Amino acid sequence: MNAQVSPAAAAPRFIKIGEDGALLPPDAAEWVAVLDTKTNLMWAVEVLSRRPYKEALEAPKSLATAGFTDWRLPTVEELFCLADRTRYEPAIDTDYFPETPSSWFWASTVDASSPFDCAWYVSFSYGYSSWDFQGSEGFVRAVRPGQ
């Protein structure tokens, strides 16, 4: 009896993206973005510095990573998809996101109970999500639609 691998099992979750926007092999030593084949979102590998929420909303717009200029702050649902709760400190796949600090990152989603004061974040220390005051400083990871 021959064991068969389903196409979904064989497909990699993440694909490295080069500075020119080209897909790279898994063993590529340098890449600037990652395509998530599960969500069809492209993530900038560069971590933008800690900043308050309103600045975090604007920060991705200045990127020109992998030849794209439509970077934005992800929603909490999008960002939470990167949290890997089988890992901790950081709770993310460090083979693809090697410089991720064990800290929290802003999401664009405001907190419904206090939308002018609070917004959601994802913590990559242990892979959970919560909210904080918009004046607090969190890191930023930019996202854009996939290819």
Instruction: Please report whether residue 84 resides in a domain.
Output: yes
Distance CA 56, CA 78 (A): 16
**Domains in the chain, number:** 1
Question: How confident is the model at residue 52, as a pLDDT?
Answer: 98
pLDDT one-digit tens code per residue, 10-63: 679 999 999 999 999 999 999 999 999 999 999 999 999 999 999 999 999 999
Question: How confident is the model at residue 1, as a pLDDT?
Answer: 46
Instruction: Please report whether residue 2 resides in a domain.
Output: no
Count of alpha carbons within 13 angstroms of residue 39, beta-carbon side: 18
Instruction: Please report whether residue 104 resides in a domain.
Output: yes
Instruction: Please report whether residue 28 resides in a domain.
Output: yes
pLDDT one-digit tens code per residue, 56-111: 999 999 999 999 999 999 999 999 999 999 999 999 999 999 999 999 999 999 99
Supply the CATH number for residue 126's domain: 3.10.100
Instruction: Please report whether residue 125 resides in a domain.
Output: yes
Q: What residue numbers bound the domain in which 132 lies?
A: 7-145
- What is the pTM for the complete model shown? 0.91
Instruction: Please report whether residue 29 resides in a domain.
Output: yes
